[in-house]
Amino acid sequence: MTGALRSSARDIARAVNARDVSAAEMAEAMIPHVAQADSALGAYLTLTPELMREHAAHVDARIAAGEKLPLAGVPVAIKDNMCLRTTRTTCGSKILEKWIAPYTGTAVARLLAAGGLPIGKTNMDEFAMGSSCENSALGVTRNPYDLDRVPGGSSGGSAAAVGGFEATISLGSDTGGSIREPAAFCNVVGFKPTYGRVSRYGLIAFASSLDQIGPFARTVEDAALAYDAIGGHDPMDATSLDRPLESTADGLRTDLRGLRIGIVKEFATDGLGAQIDACYKAAYADLEKLGAELVEVELPTAKYGLATYYLIAPAECSSNLARFDGVRYGLRVDAADVGEMYEQTRAQGFGPEVKRRILIGTYALSSGYYDAYYVKAQKARTAIADDFNRAFAKCDVIASPAASSPAFGFNAKSDPVAMYLMDYYTIPVSLAGLPSLSVPCGAVVPEGGTRPMPMGLQLASPLFTERLLLGTAHAYEQATQHAVKLSPVAGAAK
């Protein structure tokens, strides 16, 4: 059975649907494996063995009744900002450390209805604010390819779980790069669909106009399978797109003939160091070898992405996080009056990065500053989206780095702005709402490091072209096979 733990979701589902192996057997193999392996990795904040067994029994019963499920018996992990009924849902924060969700969010419910078996809830930067998982108030997650390095963030636990073979598929959320950057760090595929493709109902909001749920997987095809299961319109989310979802997992393309791939002039990699530069130049050359035509495109406003994002996202978060006030749920620090209760609860419940962003956002929305900051940022956001539209007149898919570097060591980015810069390439894509993913594209030995660390290639495509995007990544992955060239380190899961 341990072999099955390294299998793809496609193969597991095929075997479980064929009744070669039962979902219950998958669960019983996975439960002790994760309990043991995760002590080194720390991918999970909460394990849910009973729930996993319950779902396994349910899946087996459905298959016995003749159903075929696309993710039958596939062990899945869920980022801890998504509600799962009867389960602790913390957002990596002290303020929700003991909160048990009384309902299940749409994407999670769909993943489980497709046959997924929930292993547990994964660690994350508090309220999804961060790029290393170090902002979690509840635990440390380590990179499965070097335990002294971070897994990336904010969906670091979900990326590490899949990269370290502690889950076959996991769900993350991406606001400015929180799926794509940790995917790059952990040698997995991380996919952020078009904004509005996956319901946000049950996803604890960071920045509502940017947050999007997406899957992590070890193959593009598995990511596509998961996306097909969770995507589509949801009447519980007013921003969810009410347009048909085309299936992506079947018949993914294996060559890139006839495709024009845009290389962004402003995202030149020669300043990132010789090794990294060589890695991306090789990746672009591989795309060309597969039949694509490389074209240079310009995104002149992309350089304003970070500044724009760090006004819009904090503004929304300052309002979204107001509800954590100690009145109805979560941490409450008792005090003499309600005003002091709010202050003490939030002072003790939120960590420094969350507080920093609430302060920035509150300031940006304040009377007298709103036009200069929030309104201007919205205009910049439109300009950035327009730049992408112009670029897509010249190309079908844009390729770029997923992150500015491979995984870094703990405490390496103590300056918040240095941390923010990790998302330089992913943020403009998020502001434009585009579908985007990171696919493994090789490895480099970081400065001061001893082992080669995985690198990620970001691909982005026009709104609603998930099938084109996943097909491009699949062709590249099948031709290069970068992911399987690396193995997790001793101590992490085997």
Residue 121 a catalytic site member: no
User: According to the binding rule CB under 8 A, does residue 411 interact with another protein?
Assistant: no
Q: Closest distance between another protein and the C-beta of residue 161, in Å?
A: 21
Q: Closest distance between another protein and the C-beta of residue 145, in Å?
A: 32
* C-alpha–C-alpha distance, residues 191 and 218, integer Å: 11
HEC profile of 423-444: HCCCHHHHHCCCCEEEEEEEEE
* C-alpha–C-alpha distance, residues 157 and 168, integer Å: 13
Q: Active site residue: 7, 131, 132, 154, which one?
A: 154
What is 287-304 written as a DSSP string?
Answer: HHHTTPEEEEE--TTGGG
Q: Closest distance between another protein and the C-beta of residue 111, in Å?
A: 15
User: According to the binding rule CB under 8 A, does residue 200 interact with another protein?
Assistant: yes
* C-alpha–C-alpha distance, residues 201 and 466, integer Å: 21
Residue 170 a catalytic site member: no
- Among the listed ranges 49-57, 143-151, 236-244, 426-434, the one in contact with another protein (CB under 8 A) is 236-244
User: According to the binding rule CB under 8 A, does residue 258 interact with another protein?
Assistant: no
User: According to the binding rule CB under 8 A, does residue 433 interact with another protein?
Assistant: no
Query: String of b and e for 132-143 (b: at least 16 CB within 10 Å)?
Result: bbbbbbbbebbb
Residue 154 a catalytic site member: yes
Q: Closest distance between another protein and the C-beta of residue 438, in Å?
A: 25
- Of 61, 268, 274, 322, the one binding another protein (CB under 8 A) is 322
Tell me the pairing of strands 189-192 and 260-264: unpaired
Phi-psi region of 130 (alpha: psi -120 to 50; beta: other; left: phi over 0): left
By beta-carbon proximity to another protein, the closer residue of 236 and 445 is: 236
- Of 78, 161, 292, 315, the one binding another protein (CB under 8 A) is 315
By beta-carbon proximity to another protein, the closer residue of 36 and 366 is: 366
3-state secondary structure of 395: coil
Q: Please tell me the count of residues contacting another protein according to CB under 8 A.
A: 44
Find tokens 């990065």 and name the residue: 353
Q: Active site residue: 79, 121, 192, 413, which one?
A: 79
Of 279, 101, 268, give the one whose Cα is nearest residue 201.
Answer: 101
From the number of C-beta atoms within 10 Å of its C-beta (0-12, 13-18, 19+), residue 481 rates as: exposed
Chain positions 343 to 372 lying near another protein, rule: CB under 8 A, are 362, 365-367, 370
Binding site for another protein (CB under 8 A): 81-83, 89, 91, 96, 99, 101-103, 105, 200-205, 207-209, 235-239, 315-316, 318-319, 322-325, 327-329, 338, 342, 362, 365-367, 370, 374
